[in-house]
Amino acid sequence: MPGELSPIDKAKFVAAKRAADMVEDGMRVGLGTGSTAAWLVRHLGDRVRDEGLRIKGVPTSARTAQLARQVGIEVITLDEAGTLNITIDGADEFDRDLNLIKGGGGALLHEKIVAAASEEVVVIADAAKEVGTLGAFPLPIEVIPFGWTTTQMLVEELLVAADVMGRRITLRMNAGKPFLTDEGNHILDLHLSRIGNARQLAMALNQMPGVVENGLFVDLCDKVIIGYSDGRVETRDINEGTVSEDRIDLVENDNLFSDI
């Protein structure tokens, strides 16, 4: 129930609610991955059930696909959709230019492909995700398992000349084994503390043999919706240069808060 949520979850709840209201009948919608995106999927499922909203969702991960089907959203592949009207996803960090770090949930490759196929990309987040400079959150890069230690060595050499503060790299683990993405790849987390030039670093990382994709999302986000625990919601549109604010009532909804 809203009253039982933590302040952070309340912020995620209202940001996702505002974003869900942007979705219109007949849209093809990219569905992000992570805790904030899960709220979005539940809100959209609520609209499908109560309003008869007809949408087709393209999930960015297997777990998002499972949740979407559970709440009644029609799930299709990106190949079936072709292009998307909108993608709504969370972020681990965003800056004032709406550049992002994503991939904390391990779905950065699918998330970036889906975002690139979208007419509009909207990020939903709590206020704690905003930073002056990207890099406090470890930057994920997806690498193929073959020769991943060599790939790590090449990335370490690259970081020596990069405009970053830290250079420690760790292999992401899960239950004592290397974490596997939906594509069967590993993730290296780059602990950089500060990234001076996100665009330059993203391009350089993707030139490394073995690197499939990196978690820097540059020039992809059109809007960010920031939620606050008191129900306030702030929407920033990077293209229009506008900032608006409203409020979402934290009203109990049995469908959203059931254990699905």
Q: Is 129 annotated among the ligand-binding residues? A: yes
Annotated binding-site residue? 87 = no
Q: Are 59 and 179 in contact (CB under 8 A)?
A: no
Q: Which residues pair with 195 in a beta bridge?
A: 164
Known binder of ligand: residue 26? no
**Phi, psi angles (nearest 5°) of residue 238:** -70, -30
| Backbone angles phi and psi of 89, in degrees to 5 | -150, 165
- Strand 86-89 and strand 121-126: the pairing is parallel
* Residues 86 and 30: beta-carbon distance below 8 Å: yes
Reported in sequence order, the residue ranges of the chain that DSSP labels E, i.e. its strands, are: 28-31, 56-59, 74-75, 86-89, 93-94, 100-101, 121-126, 139-143, 168-171, 173-174, 177-178, 186-191, 211-214, 216-217, 223-227, 232-237, 242-247
215 annotated ligand binder: no
Does 92 count as an annotated binding residue? yes
For the beta carbon of residue 196, count every other beta carbon within 10 angstroms.
14
d(CA 27, CA 163): 41
Residue 3 marked as a ligand binder: no
Token pair of 226 as six digits: 């920031």
Please tell me whether 35 is known to bind a ligand.
yes
State yes or no: 105 annotated in a binding site. Answer: yes
- Residue 104 annotated as binding site: yes
Q: Taking a C-beta distance cutoff of 8 angstroms, is the pair 106, 50 a contact?
A: no
Active site residues: 111
Is 223 within any annotated ligand binding site?
A: no
Is 34 annotated to bind ligand? yes
Run of H or E including 151: helix 148-160
Report the binding-site residues. 33-36, 89-92, 102-105, 129
Annotated binding site for substrate: 33-36, 89-92, 102-105, 129
